[in-house]
C-alpha cells in the first residue's frame, strides 16, 4: 500500500464528500497536483442529501455536467402547505407557492441523491485531471486525481515560519492506509418487510465520531509496515464533515446550539391516498408534529418526520435521547399520526436515518491561508431546507480557483483571505436562516390569533417564501475586498480607494451603468447570439469554470461613430504590449487562459460582423485563424426569441459598459465601457506580472500605465 515514501503535493484534500470533491474538481480543471483521501472504503450509494438548488445547478453547468443532474433528477415545482382546517381541525391544503422563485435562474430546484452527484464529480475529475495533467504527463493515467479510499491522516504539523513563502511546503501530514475492514463503517442492517436495509445513522449527528476508533484499531494491528506515509503539502483542505479531524488539529471550534427536536428520515416508495405526494409538502398536524414530503427520482419519496421521543438517563443525572427507539417502523408510525386521515405505508424502503436539530458555525475557516475548512466541517444545521450539500460545495467552489491561481503563480496570496471573509458570513446567514426555519417547522400550528405559543401559518408561509430566495443560493452577495470592487463596506480614503482591514481597495462607482447587475453577486443569465454564426447562448454558458477571469465589454451600439471610436481606443489599449491581458498571461500560454475577453454589442446582428471589432476581441492564431466565439450580440434569434440582455442587465444600449467577472462568475467590477485605467488598476491589486515570475512574484505594480 505504500504509495510514496515522501510525496509532495500542492493540495491535499481530506474527505471526499461534496465539499472535497468540488475542490478536487477545481484542481483537476486547473491542472494542480492534488491528492484526495477519505477514511471510508467506498462511496455512498443511496440516502443522504438530495436537494440541488438553482445556483448549484448553474455551477454544475459551468463544469459541463449540469445536464446530467438536470435529466436524472426529479424537478420540484410547487410547495403545498397542509395544516389543520381552522373550522374542522381536519388536515387540509391551505396554500401553494412555487418551489423556486420564478425567473431567478434558468434552473429550478431538483432532487437527486448524493451518490449520483458524487459520481458526476468523479467522472469529471478523472477526465479533467488526465487532460490537464495534474499528477503526471497530460493524457496519461498517472496524471489522474483518484480518490484514495480507506486512507486517513493521523498527524499534522505546520511550519509557521514558511507560511509566507509561496513555494514552500509548510504542511506535513502522516497518512495511514486502512484495511477494508477498518475502512467499513459499522452499520445496523434493519430487516424491514423482509428486506435488509443499511441505515445512515453512522453519518448522523446522533452517532459519535469513529475516527479515533479507526485509528486505534489500525494502531493495534501489529503489521503496520508500509501502511503509513508522509505527505508534504502547500495547501490543505479539511472537508471531512461535521466531526472534522482537521478542525480538531487546528483547535478551531464549532459554536452554536442544539435543540431537543429529533427528526427521522425515510426514503420509501409510498402507498398512499394523500393527493399531493408528488409535490413538496410541509404538513403541520394539530398536535402530533410535522412532516416534510420531498418527491424524488425513481418514484421514491423522502419523508422528514418529527419524532415523539423517549429520553433515558445519561449517567450524569441528565437525560439523553434513546437512539434505540428509532426504527423505520417508529418513524412511519409518526408519519401516519401526523398525516391522518390520509393513509401512508410502504413495501419498499430505500434508506433511513435520524438526526437532532442544531445550528453551529466554525469560529475560523483557515489557518494562515494554508489550511482551510469547508462544508459540514464548519457549519452544521438541519437538512430540511436542503442547504448543507449545496453550501458545502459552494464553499469549495469559492476556494478552489483561488488556491489554483496562487499555486500557478497567477495571483498573489492576498486573494486567499477572501475565502474566510466571504464564506464565513454565508455560513452565519445559513445558521440564522436554519434556526428560524426549523423552529417554525417543528412548532405546532397556532389554534387562533391568541395562541402565542403556536406557529401562525401566515408567518410560516411568509418565512418559506422569503427563505426560498436565500435557499436558492442566488442571493449570495460578497462584500468588498481586493477582488470585489464595491464601495460602502470599507473606509473611504478620498482618493478613489478604500481601506478594509489591511487591504487597500480601488473602488469604482458603477451607479446606473448596469442597474440589473450588482457587484458581489453572480452574473445573471440571459440569451445572447454569437455574432459569427447566430447561435443563441445563455450568457452563463460562456462563463465556464476553468479558472479564467473575464472582462466583458458591453460595446453598445457600434454603428454610432463616437461609440465605435471608444471601442477602437479600448481595443488598442487591451491589445497593447503592456496591457494587463498580456502581463498576466505566461509566455506561451493561450491568450485567454488567465483573463478572457468577451463582448456583447447592441447593434443589429445583420448589420455587423466580427471585423467591426478590434482584433483583440477576436484574436488570431496562426494555426487556426480567428476566434469566432468571443463577440456576441443582443438580438432576435430565429428559434429562441430575444434575450433582451441589455434591458435585463439595465445597460444603456448606446453607451454600454464593462464588467469584470471572477472565475466563479461573481461580479468584481462594473465601469464605463472604455475605462481601461480602472480595469488595469483592479487587476494590478492582486495579479502577478508574469515577466517577473521566477524572480519575485509581484503584483502587476508597474503594469500598463498607458490608460
Asked whether position 386 contacts ligand FAD by CB under 6 A, the answer is yes
Question: Which residues is 604 bridged to in the sheet?
Answer: none
Q: Which of 261, 304, 646, 676 is catalytic?
A: 304
Place of cell 474527505: 15
Asked whether position 355 contacts ligand FAD by CB under 6 A, the answer is yes
CB of 437 to ligand FAD, least distance (A): 13
Q: Which of 170, 328, 383, 445 is catalytic?
A: 383
Asked whether position 349 contacts ligand FAD by CB under 6 A, the answer is no
Candidate residues 39, 417, 461, 684; the one interacting with ligand FAD per rule CB under 6 A: 39
Asked whether position 703 contacts ligand FAD by CB under 6 A, the answer is no
- Say how far apart CA 206 and CA 185 lie, in whole Å: 15
Total residues in contact with ligand FAD, by rule CB under 6 A: 36
3-class DSSP state of 175: strand
Containing H/E element for 563? helix 561-575
Crossing angle between the packed helical segments 18-30 and 388-407, to the nearest 10 degrees: 30
Asked whether position 674 contacts ligand FAD by CB under 6 A, the answer is no
Binding mask 53-72 for ligand FAD (x = CB under 6 A): --------------------
Candidate residues 100, 105, 211, 510; the one interacting with ligand FAD per rule CB under 6 A: 211
Containing H/E element for 247? helix 245-250
Asked whether position 40 contacts ligand FAD by CB under 6 A, the answer is yes
- Say how far apart CA 657 and CA 552 lie, in whole Å: 9
Query: Cell numbers at residue 598, please?
Result: 468577451
Question: Which residues is 632 bridged to in the sheet?
Answer: 530, 600
CA atoms within 13 A on the CB side of 38: 21
Q: Is residue 356 classed exposed, middle or buried when 0-12, 13-18 and 19+ CB atoms within 10 A define those classes? A: middle
- Say how far apart CA 473 and CA 486 lie, in whole Å: 20
Asked whether position 418 contacts ligand FAD by CB under 6 A, the answer is no
**Contacting range for ligand FAD; rule: CB under 6 A; set: 26-34, 139-147, 237-245, 624-632:** 237-245
φ, ψ at 395 (rounded to 5°): -60, -55
Q: Which is nearer to ligand FAD, 39 or 566 (CB)?
A: 39
Q: What is the DSSP letter of 557?
A: -
DSSP string for 415-435: GGHHHHHHHHHHHHHHHHHHH
Spatial contact of 406 and 166, defined as CB atoms under 8 Å apart: yes
Asked whether position 15 contacts ligand FAD by CB under 6 A, the answer is yes
User: Site residues for ligand FAD, window 150-179 (CB under 6 A)?
Assistant: 152-153
**Contacting range for ligand FAD; rule: CB under 6 A; set: 13-21, 90-98, 169-177, 417-425:** 13-21
CB of 267 to ligand FAD, least distance (A): 9
Candidate residues 80, 91, 112, 239; the one interacting with ligand FAD per rule CB under 6 A: 239
Q: In 10 A of CB 27, how many CB atoms?
A: 33
Candidate residues 11, 80, 389, 430; the one interacting with ligand FAD per rule CB under 6 A: 389
Q: Hey, what's the torsion of the CAs at 649, 652, 654, 655, to 10 degrees?
A: -100
User: Site residues for ligand FAD, window 502-541 (CB under 6 A)?
Assistant: none
Counted residue by residue, the chain has a size of: 707
CB of 31 to ligand FAD, least distance (A): 23
Candidate residues 13, 49, 91, 326; the one interacting with ligand FAD per rule CB under 6 A: 49
Secondary structure of 136-202 in HEC code, one letter for each residue: CCCCCHHHCCCEEECEEEEEEEECHHHCCCCCCCCEEEEEEECCHHHHCCCCCEEEECCEEEECCHH
Asked whether position 240 contacts ligand FAD by CB under 6 A, the answer is yes
Spatial contact of 599 and 613, defined as CB atoms under 8 Å apart: yes
Asked whether position 33 contacts ligand FAD by CB under 6 A, the answer is no
Q: Which is nearer to ligand FAD, 179 or 692 (CB)?
A: 179
Spatial contact of 434 and 386, defined as CB atoms under 8 Å apart: no
Candidate residues 265, 339, 427, 529; the one interacting with ligand FAD per rule CB under 6 A: 265
CA atoms within 13 A on the CB side of 22: 29
Asked whether position 353 contacts ligand FAD by CB under 6 A, the answer is yes
Candidate residues 10, 38, 61, 592; the one interacting with ligand FAD per rule CB under 6 A: 38
Spatial contact of 265 and 253, defined as CB atoms under 8 Å apart: no
Asked whether position 359 contacts ligand FAD by CB under 6 A, the answer is no
Q: Which is nearer to ligand FAD, 53 or 530 (CB)?
A: 53
Q: Which is nearer to ligand FAD, 470 or 580 (CB)?
A: 470
Asked whether position 445 contacts ligand FAD by CB under 6 A, the answer is no
CA-based nearest residue to 145, from 67, 35, 41: 35
Asked whether position 362 contacts ligand FAD by CB under 6 A, the answer is no
- Say how far apart CA 270 and CA 350 lie, in whole Å: 11
Active-site annotation holds for 50: yes
Active-site annotation holds for 261: no
Q: Which is nearer to ligand FAD, 358 or 571 (CB)?
A: 358
Asked whether position 571 contacts ligand FAD by CB under 6 A, the answer is no
Q: Which is nearer to ligand FAD, 427 or 446 (CB)?
A: 427
**Contacting range for ligand FAD; rule: CB under 6 A; set: 219-227, 240-248, 475-483, 630-638:** 240-248
- Say how far apart CA 222 and CA 466 lie, in whole Å: 58
Spatial contact of 566 and 673, defined as CB atoms under 8 Å apart: yes
Decide the pairing of beta strands 228-238 and 371-373: parallel
**Contacting range for ligand FAD; rule: CB under 6 A; set: 12-20, 224-232, 400-408, 506-514:** 12-20
Spatial contact of 654 and 556, defined as CB atoms under 8 Å apart: yes
Q: Which of 35, 40, 296, 655 is catalytic?
A: 296
Asked whether position 48 contacts ligand FAD by CB under 6 A, the answer is yes
CB of 88 to ligand FAD, least distance (A): 33
Cis-peptide into 341, omega within 30 deg:
yes
Asked whether position 264 contacts ligand FAD by CB under 6 A, the answer is no
Asked whether position 18 contacts ligand FAD by CB under 6 A, the answer is yes
Query: Cell numbers at residue 174, please?
Result: 502522516
Q: Which is nearer to ligand FAD, 386 or 571 (CB)?
A: 386
Q: Which residues are catalytic?
A: 50, 296, 304, 383
Q: Give residues in contact with ligand FAD (CB under 6 A).
A: 14-20, 37-40, 48-51, 152-153, 204, 211, 239-241, 245, 265, 353, 355, 375-377, 383, 386-390, 392
Amino acid at each position: 500500500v505504500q504509495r510514496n515514501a515522501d510525496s509532495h503535493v500542492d493540495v491535499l484534500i481530506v474527505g471526499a464528500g461534496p465539499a472535497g470533491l468540488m475542490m478536487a474538481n477545481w484542481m483537476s480543471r486547473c491542472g494542480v497536483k492534488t491528492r484526495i483521501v477519505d477514511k471510508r472504503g467506498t462511496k455512498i450509494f443511496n440516502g443522504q442529501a438530495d436537494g440541488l438548488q438553482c445556483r448549484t445547478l448553474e455551477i454544475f453547468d459551468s463544469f459541463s455536467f449540469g445536464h446530467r443532474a438536470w435529466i436524472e433528477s426529479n424537478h420540484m415545482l410547487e410547495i403545498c402547505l397542509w395544516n389543520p382546517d381552522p373550522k374542522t381541525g381536519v388536515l387540509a391544503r391551505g396554500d401553494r407557492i412555487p418551489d423556486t422563485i420564478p425567473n431567478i435562474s434558468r434552473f429550478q430546484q431538483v432532487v437527486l441523491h448524493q451518490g449520483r452527484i458524487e459520481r458526476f464529480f468523479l467522472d469529471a475529475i478523472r477526465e479533467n485531471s488526465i487532460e490537464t495533467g495534474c499528477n503526471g504527463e497530460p493524457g496519461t493515467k498517472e496524471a489522474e486525481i483518484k480518490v484514495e479510499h480507506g486512507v486517513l491522516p493521523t498527524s499534522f504539523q505546520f511550519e509557521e515560519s514558511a507560511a509566507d513563502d509561496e513555494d514552500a511546503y509548510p504542511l506535513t501530514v502522516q497518512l495511514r492506509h486502512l484495511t477494508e475492514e477498518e475502512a467499513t463503517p459499522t452499520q445496523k442492517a434493519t430487516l424491514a418487510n423482509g428486506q435488509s436495509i443499511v441505515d445512515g445513522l453512522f453519518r448522523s449527528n446522533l452517532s459519535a465520531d469513529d475516527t479515533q476508533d479507526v485509528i486505534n484499531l489500525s494502531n493495534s494491528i501489529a503489521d503496520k509496515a508500509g501502511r503509513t506515509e508522509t505527505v508534504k503539502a502547500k495547501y490543505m483542505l479539511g472537508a471531512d464533515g461535521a466531526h472534522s479531524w482537521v478542525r480538531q488539529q487546528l483547535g478551531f471550534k464549532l459554536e452554536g446550539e442544539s435543540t431537543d427536536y429529533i427528526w427521522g428520515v425515510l426514503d420509501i416508495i409510498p402507498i398512499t391516498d394523500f393527493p399531493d405526494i408528488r409535490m413538496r409538502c410541509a404538513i403541520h398536524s394539530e398536535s402530533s408534529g410535522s412532516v416534510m414530503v420531498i418527491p424524488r427520482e425513481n418514484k421514491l419519496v423522502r419523508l422528514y418526520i418529527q419524532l415523539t421521543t423517549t429520553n433515558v438517563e445519561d449517567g450524569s443525572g441528565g437525560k439523553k435521547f434513546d437512539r434505540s427507539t428509532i426504527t423505520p417502523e417508529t418513524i412511519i408510525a409518526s408519519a401516519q399520526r401526523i398525516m391522518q386521515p390520509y393513509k401512508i405505508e410502504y413495501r419498499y424502503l430505500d434508506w433511513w436515518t435520524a438526526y437532532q436539530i442544531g445550528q453551529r458555525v466554525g469560529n475560523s475557516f483557515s489557518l494562515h491561508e494554508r489550511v482551510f475548512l469547508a462544508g459540514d466541517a464548519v457549519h452544521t444545521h438541519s437538512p430540511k431546507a436542503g442547504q448543507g450539500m449545496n453550501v458545502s460545495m459552494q464553499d469549495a467552489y469559492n476556494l478552489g480557483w483561488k488556491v489554483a491561481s496562487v499555486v500557478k503563480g497567477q495571483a498573489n496570496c492576498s486573494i486567499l483571505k477572501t475565502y474566510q471573509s466571504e464564506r464565513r458570513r454565508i455560513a452565519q446567514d445559513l445558521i440564522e436562516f436554519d434556526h428560524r426555519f426549523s423552529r417554525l417547522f417543528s412548532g405546532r400550528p397556532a389554534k387562533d390569533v391568541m395562541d402565542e405559543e403556536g406557529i401562525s401559518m401566515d408567518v410560516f408561509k411568509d418565512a418559506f417564501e422569503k427563505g426560498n430566495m436565500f435557499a436558492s443560493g442566488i442571493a449570495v452577495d460578497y462584500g468588498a475586498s481586493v477582488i470585489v470592487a464595491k464601495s460602502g463596506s470599507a473606509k473611504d480614503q478620498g482618493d478613489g480607494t478604500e481601506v478594509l482591514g489591511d487591504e487597500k481597495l480601488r473602488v469604482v462607482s458603477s451607479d446606473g451603468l448596469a442597474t440589473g447587475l450588482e457587484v458581489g453577486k453572480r452574473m445573471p443569465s440571459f440569451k445572447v447570439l454569437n455574432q459569427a454564426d447566430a447561435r443563441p447562448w445563455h450568457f452563463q454558458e460562456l462563463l465556464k469554470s476553468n479558472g479564467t477571469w473575464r472582462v466583458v465589454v458591453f460595446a453598445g451600439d457600434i454603428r454610432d461613430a463616437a461609440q465605435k471610436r471608444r471601442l477602437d481606443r479600448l481595443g488598442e489599449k487591451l491589445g497593447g504590449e503592456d496591457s494587463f491581458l498580456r502581463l498576466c498571461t505566461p509566455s506561451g500560454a493561450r491568450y485567454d487562459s488567465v483573463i478572457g475577453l468577451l463582448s456583447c454589442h447592441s447593434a443589429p446582428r445583420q448589420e455587423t460582423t466580427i471585423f467591426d471589432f478590434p482584433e483583440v476581441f477576436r484574436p488570431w492564431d496562426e494555426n487556426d485563424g480567428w476566434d469566432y466565439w468571443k463577440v456576441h450580440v443582443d438580438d432576435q434569434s430565429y428559434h429562441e426569441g430575444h434575450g433582451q440582455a441589455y434591458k435585463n442587465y439595465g445597460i444603456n444600449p448606446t453607451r454600454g459598459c464593462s464588467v469584470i467577472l471572477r472565475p466563479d462568475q461573481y461580479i468584481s467590477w462594473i465601469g464605463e465601457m472604455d475605462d481601461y485605467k480602472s480595469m488595469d488598476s483592479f487587476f494590478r491589486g492582486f495579479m502577478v506580472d508574469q515577466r517577473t515570475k521566477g524572480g519575485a512574484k509581484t503584483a502587476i505594480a508597474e503594469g500598463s500605465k498607458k490608460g
